[in-house]
Amino acid sequence: MSDKNDKKINGATSLVRSLEHAGVDVMFGIPGGAILPAYDPLFDSSIRHILVRHEQGAGHAATGYAQATGRVGVCIATSGPGATNLVTPIADAQMDSVPMVAITGQVPSGAIGTDAFQEADIRGISMPITKHNYLVTNPADIPQAIAEAFHIAATGRPGVVLVDIAKDALTSETTFKWPTSISLPGYRDHSQPKQSDVDDAAALIVQSSRPVLYVGGGVIKANANRELLALAEASGIPVVTTLMARGAFPDSHPLHLGMPGMHGTVAAVTALQKSDLLITLGARFDDRVTGKLSTFAPGAKVIHADIDPAEIGKNRKADVAIVGDVRQTISLLLPALKAQYAKAHPDFTAWIKQVNSWRSTFPLGYDIPKDGALSPQYVIERLGKISGPDTIFTAGVGQHQMWASQFISYEKPRTWLNSGGLGTMGYAVPAAMGAKVGAPDTTVWAIDGDGCFQMTNQELVTCALNNIPIKVAVINNESLGMVRQWQTLFYNERYSNTDLHSKRIPDFTKLADAMGCIGLRCERPEDVDKTIEKAMSINDQPVVVDFGVFRDAMVWPMVAAGTSNDEIMVARELAPDWDSQEL
């Protein structure tokens, strides 16, 4: 690969060469008419292309790869339906700030706007769900567009960049020149936090008596977990980790109160509610965390550290705003705080005692079904215990996702991948595929629901054919469980269209077999460990375990949508007894 070459090549070769220069080692995609020219030079490239079975799978696989490795995930599709099938994973990745580049073919430039065969205005469609996007019609623009796309996707608040390339730009002659610099006059670098803001934050912290470190996914994106651990231990301040931040701080750590939000722990939710200072690191006051916003943490001042200035004050006013990379922010905050502590060491003893009492009084738990049926929480808890802290878990969306966030102990960043913002059912299997490609020596479990699994399981064929031995635990409660739970609680147990009958049809073990995977089934508590161990022993093929579970199990605690976090329920119609707990 030379940086400059006056030799005439076509745009497709320029594209593949650009992707190689951008450091791409793998991409997920499906060819089709408009993108076909690119697939010819790709055939000779060092880039591994994984031929998926649906473009949605390509997008989520790129996301899983990016979340597991921290690198930019890449997916590629043709024009029209190929591109529109990428819309869901693009929106998903953008919502969760995942660095991803999506390459799409477009009809020839002369046909754009004519309703040509397989034409869709994917640049227009993807405008509100990408960080940026390009339509390239001149082959000479390809290297610059690709270089900018990777730069934009990976820097600042990560996100998705789509590059749509007209077919004639791929087939026309050009020369290749990899840009040596990138000039984006409107793209500002916000990574360096201001020392004065950090000092203000440190001053607020020492004045507080009930502080909480409210940690979001940005801490994982910024690889700031070590800095966070040092900050928490040096300051003695308790930590909550949001759904996107599970693994940013060890679950086993005595300062960790668990996950806040709609299905968070009583300790985490209540600590935020009763706090007098939220030290917000790479989190965005999402409605699933705050509950009814006007009643969220009413007595708390807010320090808000985020790399995206538009997040500051978006949902909650910040008393101190620190715009910057959260790793750099914590690195500056730690010495500033130590200097403050040297002058006056704050005493959080009473507060720590209080949060610990919430934690011990209201631990996460579940009821074992009386009829001997398999408890879904038990299955997930055993999966976590048996496969250990190095395992990467992905999840779909719904009850199984919440249980997987609650009952598995995450000790390391990038071991919990899920669709937090968009809430995309069907994320688990293709994301696990991408994670396994990025971390081939790591065990990857997709914890999926029977509803989610039926949306994207076709990628198990891709896994079987490409030596990507993921493991899938289908938590089969034969229903759209979370929707059913809401019907139980809010719709008088009228189960409109949530019964999937998936213990009858399809037979997941036969489906697994048909897709070149090992299919296992487990329906009794006493078989759980040996079934998981069996699955763990198979490393040359994907494994699907159909766990037939108790269908009426519910996710608790719960803050009902639109209500205040103060109204958290630990079980159905059971609010915590606060009488002996008031601070």
Partner 1 sequence: MKLERTSHIISVLVENRSGVLARVSALFSRRGYNIEGLSVGPTQDPEISRITIVVSVEGHALDQVIQQLDKLINVIAIEEMHESSSVQIELLLVRVSVTSANQEKLLALVSEHGAKVAEMGPSSAIISLTDSSAKIESLISALNPFGILELTQSGLVAMRRTI
Nearest distance from C-beta of residue 348 to partner 1, angstroms: 33
User: For residues 78 and 155, which CB has a smaller minimum distance to partner 1 in the complex?
Assistant: 155
Tokens 């997930």 locate to 380
User: For residues 310 and 575, which CB has a smaller minimum distance to partner 1 in the complex?
Assistant: 310
Strand partners, 165: 105, 136
DSSP 288-304: HHHBSGGGSSTT-EEEE
Spatial distance between the Cα atoms of 196 and 192, rounded to a whole number of angstroms: 12
> Cis omega before residue 506 (within 30°)?
yes
Edge-first strand order for the sheet with 301-306 is: 239-241, 211-215, 277-281, 301-306, 320-323
User: For residues 187 and 486, which CB has a smaller minimum distance to partner 1 in the complex?
Assistant: 187
Does the active-site annotation cover 455?
Answer: no
Q: Length of the chain in residues, anyone?
A: 583
Task: Enumerate binding residues for partner 1 (CB under 8 A).
Answer: 123-124, 127-128, 131-132, 135, 152, 184-188, 308-310, 313-314
- Collapsing DSSP to helix, strand or coil, 201 comes out as helix
Nearest distance from C-beta of residue 186 to partner 1, angstroms: 4
Does the active-site annotation cover 118?
Answer: yes
Nearest distance from C-beta of residue 31 to partner 1, angstroms: 26
**Three-state DSSP string of 550-568:** CCCCCCCCECCCCCEHHHC
Catalytic annotation, pick one of 167, 274, 301, 436: 167
User: For residues 124 and 298, which CB has a smaller minimum distance to partner 1 in the complex?
Assistant: 124
Nearest distance from C-beta of residue 129 to partner 1, angstroms: 11
Catalytic annotation, pick one of 8, 117, 233, 510: 117
User: For residues 131 and 414, which CB has a smaller minimum distance to partner 1 in the complex?
Assistant: 131
Catalytic annotation, pick one of 402, 425, 433, 482: 482
Spatial distance between the Cα atoms of 539 and 552, rounded to a whole number of angstroms: 33
DSSP code at position 3: S
Q: What residue type is 248 in one-letter code?
A: A
Nearest distance from C-beta of residue 419 to partner 1, angstroms: 21
Nearest distance from C-beta of residue 553 to partner 1, angstroms: 38
The two tokens of residue 337 are: 């705080």
Nearest distance from C-beta of residue 182 to partner 1, angstroms: 11
In 3D space, the residue among 105, 137, 134 whose CA is nearest the CA of residue 119 turns out to be 105
User: For residues 135 and 302, which CB has a smaller minimum distance to partner 1 in the complex?
Assistant: 135
Does the active-site annotation cover 95?
Answer: no
Spatial distance between the Cα atoms of 449 and 211, rounded to a whole number of angstroms: 37
DSSP code at position 400: H
Catalytic annotation, pick one of 20, 118, 144, 194: 118
Spatial distance between the Cα atoms of 1 and 471, rounded to a whole number of angstroms: 38
Strand partners, 64: none
User: For residues 120 and 437, which CB has a smaller minimum distance to partner 1 in the complex?
Assistant: 120
The two tokens of residue 382 are: 């055993």
Does the active-site annotation cover 117?
Answer: yes
Does the active-site annotation cover 273?
Answer: no
Q: What residue type is 251 in one-letter code?
A: D
Spatial distance between the Cα atoms of 252 and 256, rounded to a whole number of angstroms: 7
Residues tagged active-site: 55, 117-118, 167, 482
